[in-house]
Amino acid sequence: MSTGGTSLQSLNTFSLAADAAEIIHAQNVEQLIAAWKSAQEKQQPFLLLGEGSNVLFLEDFAGSVVLNRIKGISLTENADEWLLHVGAGENWHHLVCYALDHNIAGLENLALIPGCVGSAPIQNIGAYGIELQSVCEYVDVLDLQAGKVTRLTSAECQFGYRESIFKHAYKDGYAIVSVGLKLKKHWQPKLTYGDLSRLDPETVTPREIFDSVCAMRQNKLPDPAVTGNAGSFYKNPAVDASVAEKISSVYPTMPSYPQANGQIKLAAGWLVEQAGLKGFAIGGAAVHDKQALVLINKDHASSADVRALAKYVRDAVAEKFGIWLEPEVRFIAGNGEVNAVGALS
């Protein structure tokens, strides 16, 4: 277990200046447990972090930030499937590349999503028509107090849109330590979204989908290495059909996606854009001018700038459309996570 400085700036993709009392790198389960015990003894708050690509630090963190760096990828197979057992600290995009390099298809639509493999189940990462849940076989979760690892099946993870049990019952006091993926050898391309629909399902290769997804993402999304951001700031809201109909009677081109439960999912980025907020800035924080769903650290933004902008955008969308957007990004205050909606109310 190694400890380093106390600055969190390079450890969150928003690149916001914040400090922790202590930063610990944990390379295995024992080091995670030791870090937890040490924080308990010091009566300090404890925060697990992957690559910090889905968090907003509201202020300095008063305790230990523990970076999950458990590595390792092992590959086995049965007649029909490839089985990957992956350490939580592996980088997600590297795993996608590893699979392609081993001629294993099925992860290519999820290329270039930042963050660690162990964080992927938490919000059931998704992009271009695929969510983690469709390839996840199990998640190994460590009870930090008891020192015991439990394997949850995909069904037990209770995956939903940007949802899982790891945001609820298995949140505080638990660490994801590895993830099992199951990829079918009989591959079927998913070409329903964006430029992918232009590809020929008969001849397309996983590599072509990967290249196309990377190109679309690089064209549309700001690179956190250049411009701080945490990806989509808000979730796409699901509303009753009557609400969607009312809006689309005024805006006939509004994108809308019917859900199995009868609700209609709307594009949060479209709502922000229609509220006239593309490029809108408060202090050093701004709404991205290509993708309105992304808030960026444009020019040395403070946490307060991002928070004020996030509130402004949420209020403006509510005023125009009567829809309250919910942040997808996790808000971290001095003693731990706080309710993001509450922090913007």
Work out whether 183 is an interface residue with ligand FAD (CB under 6 A): no
Which x/- pattern over 70-109 shows residues binding ligand FAD (rule: CB under 6 A)? ------------------x---------------------
Work out whether 196 is an interface residue with ligand FAD (CB under 6 A): no
Place of tokens 């690559």: 51
How far is residue 38's CA from residue 49's CA, in Å, rounded to a whole number? 17
Residue 185 neighbours by CB under 8 Å, 6+ apart: 77, 79, 80, 81, 82
Q: Which of 133, 164, 229, 291 binds ligand FAD (CB under 6 A)?
A: 229
Which x/- pattern over 305-344 shows residues binding ligand FAD (rule: CB under 6 A)? -------------------------x------x-------
Which of 53, 164, 232, 303 is flagged as catalytic?
A: 232
Binding part of the chain for ligand FAD, among 22-30, 42-50, 97-105, 305-313 by CB under 6 A, reads 42-50
Residue 112 neighbours by CB under 8 Å, 6+ apart: 93, 96, 213, 214, 217, 218
Active site residue 22: no
Q: Which of 100, 136, 165, 175 binds ligand FAD (CB under 6 A)?
A: 175
Which of 53, 90, 119, 162 is flagged as catalytic?
A: 162
Active site residue 232: yes
Q: How far is CA 228 from CA 17, 78, 281, 329, in A?
A: 11, 42, 14, 14
Work out whether 244 is an interface residue with ligand FAD (CB under 6 A): no
Find the angle CA(86)-CA(183)-CA(139) to the nearest 5 degrees: 40
How far is residue 26's CA from residue 22's CA, in Å, rounded to a whole number? 13
Structure letter (DSSP) for residue 113: -
Work out how close the CB of 84 gets to ligand FAD at its nearest, in angstroms, rounded to a whole number: 17
Residues carrying an active site annotation: 162, 232, 328
